[in-house]
Amino acid sequence: MSLVQVLGARLRYAGLHPRALAAWAGTDRLSALPALLPALLERDLTPASTLLALFVAGREVPLDRLRLAVDLDALNRLDLIDIAGTSARARSAVLPIGQALLACDRLDTAPSPDLVCWPDDSSYHLALALPPGRKQRWLDLGSGSAFAPLMRPELTTEIAATDVNARAVELARHGAELSSVAHLTSYVSDLADEVPADWRGTCSIVSCNAPIPERDDDPYRPRWRSTDLGFIERLFAQAASCVAPNGIVVVHGAHDALAPVIADLPGERTVVVYTPPGARGFAVAWWVPGAEPRHVEAKRTLTEARPHLTHDDRIAALAGTLPAA
């Protein structure tokens, strides 16, 4: 075990895990935290909340408090904190997700093109839309901090994740090591360009929570959020070359960008839109290139009890039990 793996296990043991997060914040849904953090920052520090305050809320924490929770020297040596005087701050957020720890930029990080984004609801839509059952190879394109692989590492025996943002790849590797997810390999890559050639045609799952194509040439737009208008077409072309003959491609994205590309694909296409009428539509698309040609478009209303799409929505759309989009 590496020192980082040991530290990750200690952090989880000492309170950086979803149950402790839910007890502290009222939810373990990471996408709900940005709205809750201002109030959480005001709370008194307790032994149980020290690591959450440091790594989730991004708060400055007195060293003597931190020392009680975890090996301070290890945190410092492994560059997880900056120490100033008698207190420390986390260099990046470290968020509990399932059995894993995810590293991304703190919520108070100034916007920049290379910001490594906090997981939002789109991250959950994509991760939960992946088909269950253990398979061999999964390629997650535009993986960011590797939310989906860290939330569902059990889905395959090998995972490759790519991102064009080198900082995102650095943090994805950090999260994977803290989580001892050793079968995840992350590449700095435009889509699948840098993935080893022997992955072509072999992936049981190819996934992407796509940035939003926009008519905007602003060079400072955040890369995690928006992209050029040709992105979805290039994404599906690369997915087609990587997916195994019996594999599936799962993409979360803007419906207006997905629709024209999906319309021209062979095989089975299932699209479920989840946004209400009047807002820009967002959807998950499942594509099985090797299946009989079929194209189903349905919609599903999100509820408090079922706030994200899941793979069950694909099954329901194919069975005709969801309303047409």
Ligand X SMILES: C[S@@+](CC[C@H](N)C(=O)[O-])C[C@H]1O[C@@H](n2cnc3c(N)ncnc32)[C@H](O)[C@@H]1O
Which residues here bind ligand X, judged by CB under 6 A? 119, 122-123, 126, 141-144, 147-148, 162-165, 168, 190-191, 209, 211, 223-224, 227
Residue 58 or 211: which CB sits closer to ligand X? 211
What are the helix (H) ranges across the chain? 3-13, 18-25, 33-42, 50-55, 63-69, 72-77, 121-129, 147-151, 166-178, 231-242, 255-263, 311-319
Name the nearest CA neighbour of 171 among 229, 120, 247, 102: 102
Query: In the bound complex, what is the minimum distance in angstroms from residue 49's beta carbon to ligand X?
Result: 25
Query: In the bound complex, what is the minimum distance in angstroms from residue 167's beta carbon to ligand X?
Result: 9
Query: In the bound complex, what is the minimum distance in angstroms from residue 77's beta carbon to ligand X?
Result: 28
- Which residue(s) pair with 83 in the sheet? 88
Name the nearest CA neighbour of 254 among 274, 224, 234: 274
Residue 61 or 127: which CB sits closer to ligand X? 127
Rounded to an integer, what distance in angstroms lies between the CA atom of residue 191 and that of residue 31? 25
Query: In the bound complex, what is the minimum distance in angstroms from residue 282's beta carbon to ligand X?
Result: 11
**Bridge-based pairing state of the strands 184-188 and 156-163:** parallel
Query: In the bound complex, what is the minimum distance in angstroms from residue 284's beta carbon to ligand X?
Result: 12
Query: In the bound complex, what is the minimum distance in angstroms from residue 34's beta carbon to ligand X?
Result: 13
Residue 111 or 290: which CB sits closer to ligand X? 111
Residue 135 or 252: which CB sits closer to ligand X? 252
Q: Which residues of 209-222 are buried (b: 16+ CB within 10 A; e: fewer)?
A: bbbbbbeeeeeebe
Residue 141 or 283: which CB sits closer to ligand X? 141
Name the nearest CA neighbour of 54 among 26, 27, 15, 18: 15
Residue 142 or 153: which CB sits closer to ligand X? 142
